[in-house]
Amino acid sequence: MLNEPTFSPSLLQVRSLSKTYQNRTGLFRSRAVQAVKPLSFDLEVGQTLAIVGEAGSGKSTLARILAGMIEPSSGEIHIEGQLMRHGDYQTRCKLLRMIFQDPNSSLNRKIRVGQILETPLRLNTEMSEEEREDKVMQTLRMVGMLADHAFFYPQMLSAGQQQRVALARALILNPKIVVADEALSTLDISVRSQIINLLLEMQETMGLSYVLVANDLGVVSHISDEVLVMHDGQVVERGKTLKVFADPQHTVTKKLIQNYNNEYRR
């Protein structure tokens, strides 16, 4: 008798995930607002999934739910087949890390870069102090920084260097997935290109998977394998990035592409 084939689950499985807020409309009345309507998707090892949409579409809320910053109203998130429970940050942060839009505000200006990077190791590993120090220096070099930068404060660094530190902090626990929420939008073009190349290099060497929230469709088409288009909290179109952009079906996707092309021609 032949053995039935076995299928390993996707790296990231999102099932029926949603978020509803109660907005107060009066002293005793409130109105339910669905910031994210039930949605499902998968992400494979070494792949990049982009999430695009207009302001208020729910894409950043979705990113924060994935990172454990916002508790979902319904649905499940599985990484490597393991259910991610809200509040179990120690488990989640070893598998999924986040890079924020503005490193100037997401990095603690009161402590040195080395301390910023050492903190996740101290809280989530059994490494000795010497091992943590070695890991910090190794990770800084990996993202194109000098070991001496460990002694700098964030405000002493350029915007590009700050985002490299943010990336180092995301990578220092060797996660499987990195969620980048508009992480490139505040950088100038030359620095943005450097960070993109660094992200692609890290993906190739570490087998990372990315969830990329972005408005720049040029960046999305360059580095993502698949794209979700969101509008009013729901996914209105999805598929292989180049195919979706070459032949958009939904009016929202068409509008996003048109707006990008108009901006690009200026």
pLDDT bin (cut points 50, 70, 90) of residue 103 is: confident
Closest CA to 184 of 158, 206, 216, 161: 216
Give pLDDT tens digits for 112-155: 999 999 999 999 999 999 999 999 999 999 999 999 999 999 99
Written as six digits, the tokens of 80 are: 């490597």
Give pLDDT tens digits for 197-225: 999 999 999 999 999 999 999 999 999 99
Collapse the DSSP code of 15 into the 3-class scheme (helix H, G, I; strand E, B; otherwise coil) and give the result: strand
Separation CA 203–CA 166 (nearest Å): 16
Separation CA 232–CA 210 (nearest Å): 23
Give pLDDT tens digits for 7-66: 467 999 999 999 999 877 766 677 888 999 999 999 999 999 999 999 999 999 999 999
213 burial level (CB within 10 Å; 0-12, 13-18, 19+): buried
Residue 5's pLDDT is: 41
Q: CA 51 → CA 54, 58, 191, 221, distances in Å?
A: 10, 10, 22, 11
Q: Largest alpha-carbon pair distance within the chain?
A: 69
Please report which helix (H) or strand (E) contains residue 43, including its range.
Answer: strand 30-43
Residue 1 has pLDDT above 60, yes or no: no
Contact yes or no for 42/209 (Cβ under 8 A): no
Q: CA 14 → CA 18, 69, 200, 211, distances in Å?
A: 10, 16, 24, 12
Please report which helix (H) or strand (E) contains residue 212, including its range.
Answer: strand 209-213
Residue 31's pLDDT is: 82
Collapse the DSSP code of 38 into the 3-class scheme (helix H, G, I; strand E, B; otherwise coil) and give the result: strand
Residue 85 has pLDDT above 90, yes or no: yes
In whole numbers, what is the pLDDT of the chain averaged over residues?
92
Residue 6's pLDDT is: 43
Q: Name residues whose C-beta falls within 8 Å of residue 198's C-beta, 6 or more positions apart in sequence.
A: 143, 144, 164, 167
Separation CA 60–CA 55 (nearest Å): 9
Span 12-265 CATH architecture: 3-Layer(aba) Sandwich (3.40)
Q: What is the pTM of this model?
A: 0.90
